[in-house]
Structure formats: C-alpha cells, structure tokens
Amino acid sequence: MITSLNICYHRREDLLSVVNQVVAYPPDQVLIQVFSGVLDLAVIRQLLTELRELLPGRAVIGTSTAGEIMSGEAVEGTILVNFSLFEQSRVRSALVTQNEDLAAAGYELAAALNQKHTKALIILGCGLKDKRTINGEPLLKALDASVNGAIIAGGQAGDNGKGERTFVFTEAGITEHGVAAASVAGEFLTANNTYNLSWVPIGKKLTITEAKGPRVYSIDGQSPYAIYAYYLGQEVADNLPLSAADFPLIIERDGMEMAIHATGVNEDGSFNYIHDFYPGEQLRFGFCHAGLLALGAQLVHSDLRKFNSQAVFVYSCVSRKWILGADIAVELSSLSELAPSAGFFSYGEYYQHANGRPYFFSQTMTVLSLTEGGKNSVDISIEDGYCPKVEESKQFRTMRVLHRLIDLSTREIESMNIDLAKLANRDFLTGLANRRHFDEILTRELKRHQRSQAPLSLIMIDVDHFKRFNDTYGHVSGDDCLRAVALVFRNVLQRPVDTVARYGGEEFCCVLPGTDYPGGMLVAEKICRAVEGLEIPHAESDVADRVTVSLGMVTLAAGKHATLEELLKACDRFLYQAKEQGRNMVVGGIFP
C-alpha cells in the first residue's frame, strides 16, 4: 500500500507536521517530489537543507513550475511537497547537470537509477535552452533503451510562463541545465500511464513539403506563415508564435494523435517547432473546448478506476491552463476522488505506454498512477459506475455538434477527391500518375522513340523493407513516407517531359525521354541519395537506420526496339539485382 501526503511549504514547521509519519518508513522507501511556483533559488536551497536535516537519506526530486496541481486543484506561486511512502518498493534519485547531450544524460541517469524490478521512472528535465523549449525525445529514447520494462513519466520544468529560466533539483543539488529523476522499483509495484489530449483535428489535411529537423520551410508548397494566415486569419498570423498554442498542429504518429505548436517564427517564413518533422507527413489544425475536455476526463477517470490507483501524479502542459482557464478543473477535480494527486504544469510532458516507446508531448495532460500490492486491476467501464459529470453550457454542446458536422463533411470531401483523382489518372496518396496512366505514357514514349531514335531511359524504385516500416510505425507513417519519396521525385525530375508514377504499393517508375545511359544513372543516383537524405527513421531496416530505396535503371538506346512489357521486365531485373547486392543502390544497364 502506498501512502501519499501533500503539504504546502512556507517554513520548517510545515515539514515538521509530517516528519513523524515519514520517518516510520525506511529512507529508501520514500520519494519526495517538490513542485515549486516560487522561482527563488535561495528558498529552494533552504528547503533542501531542511529536508536533509529532518529526513536524511530520502530521495528528493523537484522542479520549477508554471503552476502546481494539488489534490485535484490548480494553484500558482506555491511550493507543493508530495511524500510517497512505500511499504515494499524502493526509490533512487539521480541528478545530471548538463543537457547539451540529452542522449548521454539519459544513459547516465539509466546507469544510476536501474534497479531490480524497476517499474517507473519519474523524469523532471529543465524546460528551456536559449529561451526555447527543449525537445526531450533524445533523453527519453536513451532511457527507454537502457531500462527495460519501466514506464517513463514526468515533464519539463516551467517558470510561470516567463520563458527565461527553469531549474530542477534533487537532494544532491540544483541545476538550470540538466535533469532530475527517480526510479521506483518493487516486485509488487505496478505503474500505469494515461493521458488526455482533448485537441481534435479540424479542416483539410495539409502536407509537410519541406522540413529539416524541427524547422519547417513549407506546408503544401507554401511558407508556414502563409498557411497560418490563410486558414486562421491575419490576426492569428500577426501574433505568432504565441497564438499558435490555441490552434496546434495535430499529427498522428504510431497510431497516437499529438498536438504540436510553433515555438519560433523566422524571417524567411519558416517556423520552428518542438518536434522534428519529415516531408510527406500530413497534419491538420486542432482545437479544444470544454465539452471535449469532459469526455476525455471521463475516460481518464475510468482508466484510473480500473487500475485501482493509490497515488496519482499529474504532468500537464501549461498551454492547457492558459487556453482552458477555469475549465481546467474539469479534468483535474475527479483525480483526487480516486487517490491523492500532485503534479505541475510543464513545458512539455514525458509519456510512455506500458510496453511502448516513450513520447515527448505538448498540450497534453499525462497521469502516472502507482499501486503497491493487492489486486492491481479491476474490470470497470464508464457505464459501470460513477464517472465525473460536467454541467455543459448550450455553447459547448453546440460546438460539439459543429465539430461533428465539419468532421463528417471533411471526410466526405476527401472521399470525393479520391474518386476524382482516379478519374484524373492520379494516385490520390502521392499526387503522382497512377499505373494505368503511366503505362499509357510509356507506350506513347516508346512509339516516339521508334520515330526519333532518341534514347529512352526507365527507372524502377522500391522502398527498402517497407512492410517492416509499416509494421513498426503504422500505416499513417507509411503513407507519410510514400508522400515524402514522391516529393523527392518532384525535386529531382525538373524536366516537363519526365514522368513518375506510383506503380504499386511502395514501387515507383520514372520514364525519362531523350535520356541516355549516363544521364539515367545520374538521375537514379540523385533520387537514391535524396531519399536517404530525408533521414526518415527506419529502425527495422537491415540497410540503414533511415528509409532508403533500391533502383533499377535501363536505357533503350537509339536503333533498339522493345515492347512495354520487355522494357519493364528488363528494368525489374536490374532492380532485383540492386536488392540482392545490398539495397540502397542503383543497378543499371542498356537494353537488352
């Protein structure tokens, strides 16, 4: 059984009120979490001194905040101290004082925190570097790779929205450039992670057409600034990036929808985001209202009831507090009915499903719940018992109906666009020619070759280990990958006479009229290197750690004749050789 205690710290006497209860537990069975809306480091140093004196040997992790969460309520400017007392589980803490290399920080923390039966890692990272939000993904990936079976939770430090300086600390000290963390381990300990987004996509799908890491240069072929101004209006565009928090981009990765907002606007019209983007990824604008918030809160409540939670820790994005205002109470109030709750409003949330990879979220509420001993799971659904009910205004109900209307209308328009694309000889997913239209073009070019005697080259391209990519990252990411490859073709093939088509699944074909063998090989090599240069991760590929392609190229020289089937078969043989010789390469020849 876990005992969880919350106090607001003002002076030493506040700690004395719980000391007797805490010292009844062995030092390594106590975790102290501090969430401080007070940004005065002298105050934090005094608190740490008192904790070391009164409760020596106990693990402490703490963070500056953009608001505190105590017993289901949002508060500000306080120092919230939570004491988690475990009957059987063990606790360790660790502090890393650098975040220049987050992967290295993750490996260092993992070495310090790893215990037998580790079930949860609570990570508190500094939230800002050069006054911009830090992307915590490298830290999370390193931790996940090093500590098997543990759920990762937590968030990044805030500074009450000032965007200037954040800090984290343990009993060992304070840092403005590092990570504080704790592991909780026990044979009879169970950890559960859940989250509430409540932002939903709205409007048409948009495609990333040029991006490098977290910097996006174009969406649907236009600058992000132009896209925001067109769809959201000039008032929103003039107040970027702050106004972007109200309308984040919603993107699906690994079957999960994520909300991502801009963190910086550059003079060339490109935007910086917390997360990396890749060409070909599709996204939509998102919005949130209290009606959707209530539905999400009910699902979280039901999940925690099933888990039979004994201690609940909440890490919620400060954007939710700013945008939702008083309505934030909708999702917080019900948590304290299940178990004592504590947490803070952060500059990004760390989240991991059981047996899943970790994610760095924004604009999301994440909830870690812990249970020790006894039956850890009960069969409960929303219909089985109490779930929090929220009095909704007519406006909220109207907005929910309006969202349904817009969402269904958008789906119907997308379906009609697919039908129109087929009629227009286009592949709807990539915008390239479809197979039937390509066969028509190649047949016409073969006839022109016979008349003009100009060389004709054909390239066949196959995405390496694409089935593994789909199995690993999901079909949405698979579609994004194919769109990214299609964008490479558009960039490499500049001549109007060149044609590229999606020939089937992950296979593409290019016909290059008037192109000889050296020219065809040059184009094929450019495509091969450009796809690799996209740096789309592919962890299950035997070729590289990123998406690659294999290419076969055949040239029909002057004076030579071939049918469509013969030329395609010859090109396919060269493609097969490229795969057999190791993939991520071009193999070509002259017909026959």
pLDDT exceeds cutoff 70 at 383: no
pLDDT at 333 (0 to 100): 78
pLDDT at 58 (0 to 100): 96
Pairing mode, strands 358-361 and 349-352? antiparallel
Residue 174, phi then psi, degrees to nearest 5: -125, 145
The two structure tokens encoding residue 163: 């965007």
For residue 161, count CB atoms less than 10 angstroms from its CB and return exposed for 0-12, middle for 13-18, buried for 19 or more: middle
- Please spell the DSSP secondary structure of 465-514, one letter per residue: THHHHHHHH-HHHHHHHHHHHHHHHHHH--STT-EEEEEETTEEEEEEET
Please give the average per-residue pLDDT across 187-214, as a whole number.
89
pLDDT exceeds cutoff 50 at 47: yes
Give catalytic status of residue 445 as yes or no. no
- Where do the DSSP E strands lie in 87-149? 90-96, 118-125, 128-129, 132-133
pLDDT exceeds cutoff 70 at 387: no
- pLDDT tens across 393-436, in order? 555 565 566 666 666 667 677 777 666 656 678 898 998 999 98
Q: How many other CB atoms are there within 10 angstroms of residue 299's CB atom?
A: 15
Buried residues in 428-453 as b, exposed as e (16+ CB within 10 A): bbbebbbeebbbebbeebbeebeeee
The two structure tokens encoding residue 488: 């490479």
Q: Which range (138-152, 382-396, 464-478) has the least confidence?
A: 382-396
Q: Which residues pair with 257 in a beta bridge?
A: 252
Q: Of all helices (H) and strands (E), which one includes residue 34?
A: strand 30-36
- The pLDDT-based confidence of 559 (bands split at 50, 70, 90) is confident
Please give the average per-residue pLDDT across 519-532, as a whole number.
97
pLDDT at 307 (0 to 100): 80
What is the DSSP secondary structure assignment for residue 426, as one 8-state letter? B
Q: Which of 210-214, 361-365, 526-530 has the highest mean pLDDT?
A: 526-530
Q: What is the mean pLDDT of the chain?
A: 89
Which amino acid does the sequence have at 97?
T
Are the C-beta atoms of 162 and 348 separated by less than 8 Å? Answer: no
Helices 435-452 + 564-580 axis angle, to 10: 110
For residues 540, 546, 547, 550, the Cα torsion angle rounded to the nearest 10 degrees is -90
- pLDDT tens across 145-197, in order? 888 889 999 999 999 988 899 999 999 999 999 999 999 999 999 999 989 88
For 405, residues 6+ apart whose C-beta sits below 8 A from its C-beta are none
Selected residue with higher pLDDT from 591 and 428: 591
pLDDT at 380 (0 to 100): 44
Q: Which range (7-21, 143-157, 207-221, 302-316) has the least confidence?
A: 302-316
Alpha carbons 569 and 585: distance in angstroms, whole number: 19
State whether residue 2 is helix, strand or coil. strand
- The pLDDT-based confidence of 382 (bands split at 50, 70, 90) is very low
pLDDT at 420 (0 to 100): 67
Residue 291, phi then psi, degrees to nearest 5: -60, -45
State whether residue 321 is helix, strand or coil. helix
- The closest of 152, 181, 162 to 62, measured between CA atoms, is 181
The answer to whether the peptide bond before residue 241 is cis (omega within 30 degrees of 0) is: yes
Q: Which residues pair with 2 in a beta bridge?
A: 86
Please give the average per-residue pLDDT across 345-373, as a whole number.
89
Please give the average per-residue pLDDT across 328-342, as a whole number.
81
The two structure tokens encoding residue 314: 């909440």
Alpha carbons 503 and 202: distance in angstroms, whole number: 32
- The closest of 382, 366, 373 to 306, measured between CA atoms, is 382
The number of C-alpha atoms within 13 Å of 443 and in the hemisphere containing its C-beta is 7
pLDDT exceeds cutoff 60 at 377: no
State whether residue 460 is helix, strand or coil. strand
Cα four-point dihedral sign 283, 286, 292, 294: positive
Please give the average per-residue pLDDT across 232-247, as a whole number.
85
Alpha carbons 547 and 536: distance in angstroms, whole number: 5
pLDDT at 457 (0 to 100): 96
The 3-state secondary structure of 242-310 reads: HHHHHCCEEEEECCEEEEECEEEECCCCCEEECCCCCCCCEEEEEECCHHHHHHHHHHHHHHHHHHCCC
pLDDT at 425 (0 to 100): 85
Q: How many helices (H) and strands (E) does the chain have?
A: 15, 32
The two structure tokens encoding residue 205: 């799908």
The answer to whether the peptide bond before residue 592 is cis (omega within 30 degrees of 0) is: yes
Given the residues 506, 507, 525, 566, select the one marked as catalytic.
Answer: 506
